[in-house]
């Protein structure tokens, strides 16, 4: 017997319709590439999203056609998010920090038909437009009077000219909820990047999940500032969740330095911000140098790479901001787990609470995980046993775009490539990417643990731990350190800092001081590059 309830497909258009109808006056604030602050509302975003849809219809763009963006976080990007997907096309956000050759490869692989770019990326557009063989329309995300005449890009339109020609009336089509809506390529540190293709259904379910109280706890009382780029896994789905709950959105544009972010957080009374650890490091440095405090910020979601405990401590204990440590990946839309305390933890000491907050967190309803050994056998949830982390759920990929039939799944589970432990309370902790695992004398050493300890040293700005070949132990860890500006640090001081914090045999064999650690396009440390740089390095005898 079937239930007797209405059967309504989940759709991205319902999110923007809802935000327009019930939260139409809520502000969307953007720092523009030009530097000024622009103010819009959910109602205006919805009108302009419909103009986008009419503009795409006028170009006879078919359903499923890919509309690419090379853009910072801002109101125009948000309009494209909703206008493109709600009209049945696919928004394909490209990371502009990639090498132009990679952007060309991705645009051709995705068969993008439209390319919308911020003026900061005009030099890239000029460089690549002849090689992007499927792109028929180039749109500069700027006012008509900001469009240079001599770009060499045939038919280049300003976004405002394009939109100005369109009606704000548009009836969104009724789409099957499994229709493709958004496309993101993985960082692809080896080989060509691969594309995750999210559906309306997966995007809406992911938006619900993010908003849950034990996840990001989003509501109509929040002002959300996604520092995490809209070109990196849909800014962790925040634009969709914000529409779902009617929250205010504050976009930082290209200005991601500590001072600019701090000014926006304060001026726009931001309650929740989200980003990778490297961005928060700049913000915390700005606060410390200028002896500032947060007057409105309550929570900050930190993920994308392991959040050092020293950063959690600084936010929580020095500035009264709750850190929500999150783990996810492109293939997961991206949210997988997030660390919030349970009722029984509330009476713990600050130190014990920190031990929980530094884990990557608990499962969110909808997304299941398990840790397995090399034979796929599930490992104990005792906080000690390590295993490969496998996940499944309605916002996890089934297949990569154009690799249909070559399923990455094993018995229905997606192997994440991460190695983790899970404790008795269900908190998952990433110890490594499987390719970064250090195996010394048959025992695993967590590179993240080694990095976290070094990062807690007051003179250390950044630390990366990698394994080096060793004749007796197979591999031994070394720690690569960048010291804070003006600070002085000796090898022995770093090594003695580890004493008593981890087992003796886990302490790195050496410290290598460098000016900078290579960072990839999504703000993560590039250990592959670091290994290349240290290819001639020899462990001390
Ligand atoms: P991407 O698909 O580029 O977002 O990268 C996903 C990968 O980033 C994951 O598989 C993890 O290796 C890493 N990652 C994401 N969040 C965290 C976190 N909180 N702690 C440790 N690693 C993380």
Task: Render pLDDT for 414-457 as a digit per residue (tens, 0 to 9).
Answer: 999 999 999 999 999 999 888 888 888 877 788 988 999 999 99
How far apart are the C-alpha atoms of 188 and 338, rounded to whole Å? 24
* Atom in ligand 1 nearest the alpha carbon of residue 325: 19
Q: Ligand 1, atom 9: nearest CA belongs to which residue?
A: 329
368 CA from centroid of ligand 1 (Å): 17
Q: What is the pLDDT of residue 191?
A: 65
* Atom in ligand 1 nearest the alpha carbon of residue 330: 2
Q: Is the CB of 258 under 6 A from ligand 1?
A: no
CA distances (Å), origin 535, targets 162, 446, 508, 527, 529: 51, 21, 18, 12, 10
Q: Is the CB of 222 under 6 A from ligand 1?
A: no
Tell me the per-residue pLDDT of 241-279, one tens digit each, with 9 for 90 and over: 999 999 999 999 999 999 999 999 999 999 999 998 888
3-state secondary structure of 188: coil
305 CA from centroid of ligand 1 (Å): 5
Mean pLDDT to the nearest integer, 97-125: 96
Q: Is the CB of 306 under 6 A from ligand 1?
A: yes
Q: What is the pLDDT of residue 523?
A: 80
DSSP 8-state class, residue 380: P
Query: What residues contact residue 155 under an 8 Å CB cut-off, 6+ apart?
Result: 137, 138
Mean pLDDT to the nearest integer, 329-351: 97
Q: What is the pLDDT of residue 152?
A: 94
- Least Cα distance to 237 among 181, 294, 178, 289 occurs for 181
Neighbouring C-alpha atoms within 13 Å toward the C-beta of 251: 32
Please say whether the dihedral angle defined by the alpha carbons of residues 539, 421, 329 and 317, taken in this order, is positive or negative.
negative
Q: How much is the mean pLDDT over the chain?
A: 95
How far apart are the C-alpha atoms of 83 and 170, rounded to whole Å? 10
- For 40, the token pair is 């819009």
* Atom in ligand 1 nearest the alpha carbon of residue 186: 2
Say whether the peptide bond before residue 140 is cis (omega within 30 degrees of 0). Answer: no
Q: Are 459 and 497 in contact (CB under 8 A)?
A: no
Q: Are 425 and 393 in contact (CB under 8 A)?
A: no
How far apart are the C-alpha atoms of 233 and 229, rounded to whole Å? 8
Mean pLDDT to the nearest integer, 322-350: 97
Topology, domain 15-255: Rossmann fold (3.40.50)
Longest dimension (CA), the chain: 74
Q: What is the pLDDT of residue 188?
A: 56
C-beta atoms surrounding 122 within 10 Å: 18
| pTM across the whole model | 0.90
Which pairs with CB-CB distance under 8 Å and at least 24 residues apart come from 119-125?
A: 119/33, 119/146, 120/33, 120/72, 120/96, 120/254, 121/70, 121/71, 121/96, 122/148, 122/151, 124/70, 124/96, 124/100, 125/70, 125/151, 125/153
How far apart are the C-alpha atoms of 535 and 541, rounded to whole Å? 17
Q: Is the CB of 451 under 6 A from ligand 1?
A: no
Q: Binning pLDDT at 50, 70 and 90, where does residue 283 land? A: very high
Domain 438-533 classified CATH 2.40.50.140? no
H or E element that contains 163? helix 159-164
328 CA from centroid of ligand 1 (Å): 6
Tell me the per-residue pLDDT of 148-176, one tens digit each, with 9 for 90 and over: 888 999 999 999 999 999 999 999 999 99
Q: Is the CB of 416 under 6 A from ligand 1?
A: yes
Q: Ligand 1, atom 20: nearest CA belongs to which residue?
A: 306
3-state secondary structure of 423: coil
Domain coordinates of the chain in residue numbers?
15-255, 438-533
């Amino acid at each position: 017997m079937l239930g007797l309830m209405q059967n309504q497909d989940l759709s991205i258009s319902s999110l923007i319709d809802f935000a327009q109808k019930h939260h139409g006056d809520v502000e969307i604030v953007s720092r523009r590439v030009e530097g000024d602050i622009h103010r819009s509302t959910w109602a205006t975003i919805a009108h302009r999203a419909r103009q986008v849809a009419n503009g795409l219809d006028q170009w006879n763009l078919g359903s499923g056609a890919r509309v690419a963006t090379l853009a910072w976080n801002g109101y125009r990007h948000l309009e494209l998010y909703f206008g493109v997907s709600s009209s049945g096309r696919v928004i394909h956000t490209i990371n502009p920090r990639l090498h132009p050759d990679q952007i060309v490869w991705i645009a051709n692989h995705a068969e993008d038909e439209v390319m919308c770019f911020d003026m900061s990326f005009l030099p890239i557009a000029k460089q690549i437009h002849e090689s992007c063989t499927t792109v028929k329309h180039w749109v500069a995300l700027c006012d008509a009077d900001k469009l240079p005449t001599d770009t060499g890009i045939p038919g280049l339109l300003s976004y405002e000219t394009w939109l100005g020609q369109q009606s704000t009336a548009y009836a969104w089509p009724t789409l099957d909820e499994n229709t493709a809506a958004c496309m993101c390529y993985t960082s692809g540190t080896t080989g060509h990047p691969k594309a995750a293709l999210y559906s309306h259904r997966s995007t809406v379910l992911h938006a619900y999940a993010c908003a849950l109280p034990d996840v990001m706890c989003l509501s109509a009382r929040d002002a959300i500032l996604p520092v995490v780029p809209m070109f990196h896994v849909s800014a962790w789905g925040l634009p969709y969740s914000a529409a779902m709950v009617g929250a205010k959105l504050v976009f930082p544009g290209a200005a991601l330095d500590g001072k600019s972010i701090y000014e926006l957080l304060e001026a726009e009374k931001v309650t929740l911000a989200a980003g990778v650890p490297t961005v928060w490091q700049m913000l915390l440095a700005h606060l410390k140098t200028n002896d500032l405090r947060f007057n409105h910020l309550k929570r900050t979601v930190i993920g994308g790479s392991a959040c050092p405990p020293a950063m959690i401590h600084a936010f929580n204990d020095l500035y009264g901001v709750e850190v929500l440590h999150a783990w996810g990946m492109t293939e997961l839309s991206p949210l997988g787990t997030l660390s919030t305390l349970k009722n029984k933890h509330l009476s713990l000491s600050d130190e014990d609470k920190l031990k929980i907050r530094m884990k990557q967190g608990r499962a969110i309803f909808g997304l299941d995980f398990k840790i397995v050994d090399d034979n796929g056998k599930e490992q104990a949830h005792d906080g000690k046993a390590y295993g490969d982390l496998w996940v499944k759920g309605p916002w996890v990929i089934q297949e990569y775009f154009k690799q249909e039939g070559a399923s990455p799944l094993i018995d229905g589970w997606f192997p994440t490539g991460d190695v983790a432990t899970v404790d008795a309370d269900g908190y998952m902790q990433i110890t490594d990417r499987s390719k970064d695992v250090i195996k010394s004398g048959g025992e695993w050493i967590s590179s993240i643990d080694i990095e976290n300890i070094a990062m807690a040293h007051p003179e250390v700005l950044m630390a990366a731990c990698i394994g080096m070949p060793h004749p007796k132990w197979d591999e031994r860890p070394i720690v690569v350190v960048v010291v804070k500006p003006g600070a002085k640090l000796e090898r022995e001081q770093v090594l003695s800092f580890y004493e008593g914090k981890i087992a003796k045999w886990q302490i790195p064999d050496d410290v290598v001081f460098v000016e900078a650690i290579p960072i990839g396009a999504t703000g993560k440390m590039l250990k592959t590059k670091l290994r290349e740089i240290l290819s001639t390095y020899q462990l001390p005898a």
